[in-house]
Structure 1
Amino acid sequence: MTDTPHARIAPAESPAESPAVPTHRSSPGRVVAALASRWPTWCGLAATALNLADARDGRALGFVVYLAALIYLATAVIDRPGMVWVLFGLSVVAVTLLKVFDVDPWPLLIASAVTVVVLGLTAGLLRQGGLTAAQLPAMLVFGAAAVFALSLSPEAGGALVAAALIGHAVQDVAVWRAGKVVARSMAEFCAVLDFTLGAAILALILLPLGG
């Protein structure tokens, strides 16, 4: 029996003839969103630029690592990682006001550190172990380095501050990876600030402008 026109089956389309499926490419909006998600990094770089523009030598930047260690410790004591940005804001405002009125901020910073260390010991922070407990010795080590650097020459003191900043950046990365102690956004911001500021101080010591 011969096939009728209605009985004929149309040949299937070959893969080459099938409609092309549009491929999705990264739109400008996605690029902007990706960049925006890294806002702590951009803020850290901006903070580095501001601190370098305002510093006489590396020793003067010791307050950055001192303040970072103090804020981390205070956040660990109250055990509320999200509060770190509030503590950071209050600390920056306090230090800025002291500088505006030409008041040495170091006595207040040292008194605050002693108070927070005592509170941490009383609250049993060392018994918690891990990165949380590590904030007590970190405060002592980084704080002592920042204060001791003030008594050294600009080169030696700056190098000590740079080493402390880079050392704290290592802790920032550990905190960021663990997602503990402070908010990850603060850990990212602090890691970028600490590392770039420490590296810049070392560069200025080794390659002085005009030298």
Structure 2
Amino acid sequence: MADISSAPRSLARRLPITVAHRWPTWCGLAVAAQSALDLGDGRGQAVIVFLAALIYLATAVVGRPGVVWLLFGASVVAVTLLRLFDLDPWPGLVGGAVSVALVALVDGVMKRSRLTAAQLPAMVLFGGAALLAVSLSPAVGGYLVAAALIGHATLDVIVWRADKVVTRSMAEFCAVLDLTLGVAILVLI
């Protein structure tokens, strides 16, 4: 007969390890919650969609999945500084995306694996949706941002499963953030 008295102690030992192992999920939930506090009509979250696609494309160009966290940190700092000085981040984001897309074309990203090559059209699709959303009415723009976030969460899951393009930790973080924030926008607007 099995000793069931050891089950709670075993769970108590495994739980902190399991929770710690899922740190990207917890971070994604925390960022989604913080973003939801400043949700407005949802269009303000278009920057998140745009940055997600741009960071994935830039990581694909570099060809080193581990660089994604550095690119993420740099982009968060850059957008935060622009907003601190009350500057519109969109010209810099669009200029950066065009530059990275041109480098991707010259560098031959489209000739690499399908998933790596898919990052260029994903940038066009998600970046275009983000830009369009900020120019639409609050309701329609908010729904478009939500759809783009949920769509990018799907790409995150594909990238996570393939363990290609970006690190699994970033794909997990981004999937949780994108899906949670997309659903929050749908619920709250």
Same fold (TM over 0.5): yes
Q: Aligned partners of 2:54, 2:68: CA distance in 1, in Å?
A: 11
Report the CA distance between 1:21 and its aligned residue. Answer: 7.7
Select which of 19, 42, 66 maps to 1:35.
19
- Listed as ranges, the gaps of 5+ residues in structure 2 are none
Report the CA distance between 1:204 and its aligned residue. Answer: 1.2
Structure 1 runs (4+) deviating above 6 angstroms are none
Q: What are the equivalent positions in structure 2 for 1:1-80 lying under 5 Å apart?
A: 24-25=6-7, 26-80=10-64
Q: TM-score, normalised by structure 1?
A: 0.85
Secondary structure of 2:118's counterpart equals: helix
Select which of 88, 92, 96 maps to 2:72.
88
Partner residue in 2 for 1:208: none
Relative contact order higher in (CA < 8 Å, ≥ 6 apart)? 2
Q: Aligned partners of 2:39, 2:150: CA distance in 1, in Å?
A: 18
- Listed as ranges, the gaps of 5+ residues in structure 1 are 1-19, 206-211
Q: Aligned partners of 2:49, 2:55: CA distance in 1, in Å?
A: 10
1:198 to 2:182 alignment: yes
Secondary structure of 2:87's counterpart equals: coil
1:146 to 2:136 alignment: no
- Aligned amino acid, residue 82 of structure 1: G
User: CA RMSD of the aligned region, Å?
Assistant: 1.3
Q: Aligned partners of 2:166, 2:92: CA distance in 1, in Å?
A: 23
Q: Aligned partners of 1:173, 1:155: CA distance in 2, in Å?
A: 27
Alignment coverage as a number of residue pairs: 186
Q: Aligned partners of 2:69, 2:80: CA distance in 1, in Å?
A: 16
Q: Aligned partners of 2:55, 2:164: CA distance in 1, in Å?
A: 14
Bigger helix share: 2
Partner residue in 2 for 1:164: 148
